[in-house]
Every structure is written in structure tokens, then in C-alpha cells.
Amino acid sequence: MKIQEKITELKSKRNAVILAHGYQPPEVQDIADFTGDSLDLSRKAAATDAEVIVFCGVHFMAETAAIISPKKTVLLPDLKAGCPMANMITAEKLSGMKAQHPGVPVVAYVNTSAAVKAGSDICCTSANAVDIVNAVKSDTVIFVPDRDLGNYVSTKTGKKLILWDGFCPTHEKMTPDDVIRARKEHPGAVLVVHPECRPEVVAMADEVLSTSGMCAWARKTDARQAVIGTEVGIIHRLKKENPGIEYHPLNKGAACPNMKKIGLEKILWALEEMNCVVRVPQETSEKAKKAIDLMLARNKRD
């Protein structure tokens, strides 16, 4: 029996659903019941009837699913798959920031630990960050941990964002030189980048979108060539859903090592052993849930 068949069999025995982020390896995206961006995946985790969620992504994503659905068992097939950007801020560091700016509301990018979310007023993802910051009733906002997404959001909202100095090491790899090279090699291609990219790269782009935003863009564009400025895994999803476009990575080395830690064997082991469970302490979970639920309530009608 092929490994995919074994996973499918065990998945139905366990009443499990497999959710995968668009940065996952192709074979993981292909076995998943649903592939999406951080916002899509948190909505799916909230809506599923399955008892078990096999989360193919990184730790903060599985934690978010466990917070949203505390009665479900959330498995992360490799518990060491973390997010270096999320690890750049801790609950203690956030408390220090809040003490320096009393009364200023905190917007936490979902790429944060449950403890950081618990100390925040509302969460956001790259897909809704502009909308969420606009909705906060204050012209000054503490925004953690991504300084690059924060920069982008401040230009779009006109608000004063007090930023933490965090960044995504994978998106940081993409530079203006990559843009100059790509424009030369693929004249006429549309440059679509993720807002986690450096501000210099964002300023040179034609479109700035979350990963699912890129897929939605590909569905409706007339462009036949695109240069994609995000983690390279998304090109698999883009090609699968919209094969009529030629996609070129802005930087083919932009692969997130943590996103690539999960593979079919680990998914099978996770379902067999049921031992890579992500749990969040109840008090932290309840506080973090308020910040996540506020975000999800805002995006309900999308």
C-alpha cells in the first residue's frame, strides 16, 4: 500500500482532517484536505467537525488551531517546526513594550506564541492586517513582531505603528537586486510579493498580497507571467490552481526550513502514534482566544 493510501485510511479511522499551509512541500499540499494561508487555516480549524486536526505548518499555526478548538486534538507532525520570527518576541518583552506605551492597543500578527497573543488586544494575519489596524480605535498601535509587515501596514493606514524589530529570515532573503535581476530576465511579468518582504522590495512590487491573496490574484489576472516574492512552496499551489501562468520565484533560495520539516512519513507517524499533540495551558488559551476571535469575527463576511 502506498504511503498516501495508508494516511487516507488512518485519517478516516481517526476522524482527522489534514490542513496544510501553502509553504509546505508539494506532496504534503497534495495529501491535505485543505491548503490555505494563515487566515484560511484558522477559519478551517474553527469550522471543521473532525476530532483530530493534523496541522502541516509551523508551531504557532497549530497552537492557533488548538486555541480555537480546545476540544479537538491538534497534531503537529514535527514539534520542532517553529517560526523564527514568532520566537523573536516573548510575552515578557511585549509586557515591557506595553509598559513604555500605556493604553496603546496591541495588534499581534498570528506569527506569535499563544502567550504573546494572550497579552494582545487583537490578532491579524498578512491577509487582513490593514483592515484590522484600520478598525482599531486608536491612531497609535503597538504592532508585533514583524517590522516589515508593520511598515507596510503603516503606509496603508496612515497610523503610527510602534514596531517590534522582528522579521522573517526567509522573506528577508529577497532583495532589490533580486527584483532588478527578475525584471531583466522576465520583462512583462507582474511582480507579486508578500508583505513580510523588506520595505525596499515591497516598494518595487506591482502587487502586495498574502499567499492566498496571490492565488486569488492568479485566478483573475490577464497576466501570463508572474515573479513571486514569497516562500517558494507557494508556486506549487499557484501552478496547480492556475496552470495558465508562468511563475518565477523572486529568489529560489527563499525556502523556509521549518515549513519543510514535515513530510508524508511524519504525517503517517503522527496519525499512528497520536503523540505530537500541541496543547496550550487553559488560562493562556482563553486570553489568546479573545484576540483571535475578535479577528475572526471581523472577517466573517469575507
- Residues that bind ligand 13P in the complex, under the rule CB under 6 A: 37-38, 83, 111, 125-127, 168, 196, 210-211
String of DSSP letters for 111-161: SS-HHHHHTSSEEE-TTTHHHHHHHSS-SEEEEESBHHHHHHHHHHH--EE
Q: Please say which residue, 223 or 255, places its beta carbon nearer to ligand SF4.
A: 255
Q: How far apart are CA 93 and CA 76, in angstroms?
A: 26
Of all helices (H) and strands (E), which one includes residue 298?
helix 282-298
- Decide: is 89 part of the binding site for ligand SF4 (CB under 6 A): no
Q: Which residue of 7, 32, 65, 83 would you call a contact of ligand SF4, by CB under 6 A?
A: 83
- Decide: is 251 part of the binding site for ligand SF4 (CB under 6 A): no
According to the binding rule CB under 6 A, does residue 256 interact with ligand SF4?
yes
Report the distance separating Cα 176 and Cα 182, nearest Å: 10
In the list ligand 13P, ligand SF4, none, the entry touching 204 (Cβ below 5 to 8 angstroms by class) is: none
Residue 61 vs 271, nearer CB to ligand 13P: 61
Nearer to ligand 13P, 143 or 271 (CB): 143
Instruction: Please identify, using beta-carbon distances, which residue of 11 and 166 lies nearer to ligand 13P.
Output: 166
Collapse the DSSP code of 18 into the 3-class scheme (helix H, G, I; strand E, B; otherwise coil) and give the result. Answer: strand
State the Rg of the chain over Cα. Answer: 19
Rounded CA-CA distance 173/197 in Å is: 8
Half-sphere exposure of 2 (CA within 13 A, CB side): 5
Rounded least distance, CB 162 to ligand 13P, Å: 22
211 binds ligand SF4 per the rule CB under 6 A: no
Contact of residue 84 among ligand SF4, ligand 13P, none (CB under 5-8 Å per partner type): ligand SF4
Cell numbers 496603508: residue: 156
Closest CA to 201 of 232, 238, 227: 227
Q: In the numeric block, which cell numbers belong to residue 286?
A: 482563553
Nearer to ligand SF4, 14 or 167 (CB): 167
Q: Which spans of this chain sit near ligand SF4 (rule: CB under 6 A)?
A: 23, 58, 83-85, 111, 168-171, 231, 256, 258-259
